[in-house]
Each structure stands twice: as C-alpha cells, then as structure tokens.
Amino acid sequence: MEEARRDPFAEEGARARRALVREIEAYGALREPVWRAAFAAVPRHLFVPSYYVAGPAGYERRWSGDPDPARRTRWLRGAYRDLALATRVRDGELLSSASQPSLMAKMLEALDVRDGHDVLEIGAGTGYHAALLCHRLGDAHVTTVDLDEEIAESARAHLAAAGYRPAVLTRDGARGCPERAPYDRIVATCAVPSVPYAWLAQCRPDARILTPLSTGLLVLAVRDRDRAEGRFLAGSAYFVALRGSAARTPRPRTAGVPRRVYEDEGFQFLTGLAGDRLDLREALSLWQRERRPERERFGVTVSGGRQWAWLDDPEGPYAWPLPEL
C-alpha cells in the first residue's frame, strides 16, 4: 500500500477515523469487531478527494488540493463526518454521493457476510463501500458495477490509492454481472422501484439481497432463482435512484392528503412502496387504520415471475404488485 504511506493526510485521517468509529458506535452500529476494524482502517478521505456542500448560493466545492490550509482542513474534517456527501453534481442534479457511514455500517451488518462469500455491489459510487467489503473479505471476493464509466473509473482509482483492487466494471446494475456470478450476497447502494430478476438468477441458494426500495432498506432471503422474500429494516434510507433499464420517475402524490401527513416520512415510504397501485385515499385510510405502521412491518415477496409488497403478511389483505422492470 505504497500510495497510502505517501498520503499527506494519513496521520490526521487516522485520528479522524477513530472519532468516526466512536460516533458510529454511538449510533448503535458496528457491533461486530470485523466491521469496526474495517471502518477504522479504510481511509474515507481518499475516496472523497472532492465533494460538494449545499449552501444558500448553491453548491460549494471542497477538495484536498485547495491552496488554503483552512479550507483543506474543512475538507478533511467533512470527509469524516457521519453524513452523506454529494460527490457528483451536474446542472443542479445529484448524480452520485457517498452514503452516510453509520448507514453503511447498518447495511453491512445486515448483509451478514461470512468468510469466503462472494459479493456483488450495485452502484460503485466513490468505491468506499467496496473498500470496506474488500477489507472484510479480500479483493477477489468483491465485484462492484456502475452504469457510468467515469464513476467506475474514479472508484477504481480511489480503491487502488487505498490499496484495494476488486473487480470494478461498467454495467447496467439492473442486469447484475453474470460473468462473475454466482454470488452469496448482493447489495445495492442506489434505490430501485422493484427487485431485478437478474439478481436472483445470479445468486447461490440461501443468498441474501439488500437493496434500498422506496425510502427503506429491504433484506431478501433468496431461496432459489425464482423465489425470495424478506422485510424492511427499521428506519429511513434515502439513496440516489438506479439509472439505466430499471430507472423510473415517481409521480408526485399530494392531492387530498393533509400536508402534515404527506410530509411524514413513514407515509412517504408507504406511498413510494405502493406507487400507482394504491389510491391515495386508500393509502391514507390504511395509514390511519393501522396506526402509522413502521417500516419493519412491510416486506416483499418475489415468486414465480411476479413480485409484490405487503403489510404484515405476504398472503394478507394488504398487498401491492411492484412494477415490472
């Protein structure tokens, strides 16, 4: 890891990582020593040499090469805050971001990887998430893909600078990466409208898939290439949407719903999950009748070429088909 030893921010970065690990632990994650060690070892600042901070006058760029020492310090400290960071912005649109570290820790622990597992990551981003997987499993067991060649190349460079060399490929994430299958785990770092069937087809039996869907994190247990089922984790999760063949623009849904209800993130999760398959008045009625159901009461079943979301019971009265990709 010659590149890491030449890093001028190595010493200060190590101190900042120790503080970040303590902050993530206070959040309630990093219960497993292997992940605590990964977050303590992987230098996040090498994966965000520049990022953008929203302000009243638009986005402000912070970067490691800033000639002003005070601004360089702000960049480094910001790289180790427990926040998501905007890394690519084009015409005011967020294209790519570095996820909040505590949320990453929650996802990695829920993924439940074991020694020898092969993992496919959908959405290379900065490469930081893949680096954490590499630290845990070894480079040969990690594949990460991104639709954007520029993002994939940037992630590849960041990973190499930190001493990691997994397979980083330019692919449509909805189609997975069949040439390196099968996988024991698939994890997406971008939101999907439904579960791509290609992912199941590339999994080993008893695999696990973790993906953002609506504004929650879905964990699926894969039985075989035709069936998977699972529930959402507690808490909200907001990710940039998957681009490519699975991209879908949600339709605004506000008519007839009180503002205080519509702005409730739990209600937004329900309407994002049900989409056009549930009338807004029906969604409001369900929301009130079930006393604002938490995310972990919801789940998804994929079976026999169809998939549906549900509340409490896959065969119960509250179920909605997810869109075909």
Whether residues 90 and 176 share a domain: the answer is: yes
Structural domain boundaries, residue 198: 2-232
Confirm whether 297 is domain-assigned.
yes
Whether pLDDT at 320 is above 60? yes
Smallest CA-to-CA distance from 162 within 121, 133, 190, 123 is with 133
Pick the catalytic residue: 96, 102, 194, 214? 96
Say what the pLDDT of residue 243 is: 76
What would the mean pLDDT of 183-194 be, rounded to a whole number? Answer: 96
End-to-end CA distance of the chain: 42
Q: Which amino acid is at 145?
A: V
- Has residue 260 got a pLDDT over 70? yes
Query: Same domain for 25 and 94?
Result: yes
Tally of domains within the chain: 2
pLDDT above 50 (res 98): yes
- 120/199 same-domain check: yes
pLDDT tops 70 at residue 132: yes
pLDDT band at 5 (very low <50, low <70, confident <90, very high): low
Residue 144 within any structural domain of the chain: yes
Question: Does residue 163 have a pLDDT over 60?
Answer: yes
Q: Please say if 154 is a catalytic residue.
A: no
pLDDT value for 2: 42
pLDDT digits (tens, 9 = 90+) for 13-60: 999 999 999 999 999 999 999 999 999 999 999 999 999 998 787 788
Q: pLDDT tens, 221-238?
A: 999 999 999 999 999 999
> Is 270 found in the same domain as 228?
no
Is the pLDDT confidence value at 112 over 90?
yes
Final residue in a domain of this structure, among 215, 232, 249: 232
Q: Looking at the structure, do residues 152 and 202 belong to the same domain, yes or no? A: yes
Q: What would the mean pLDDT of 271-279 be, rounded to a whole number?
A: 83
Sign of CA dihedral 141, 145, 151, 153: positive
264 and 197 housed in the same domain? no
The encoded tokens of residue 323 equal 């869109």
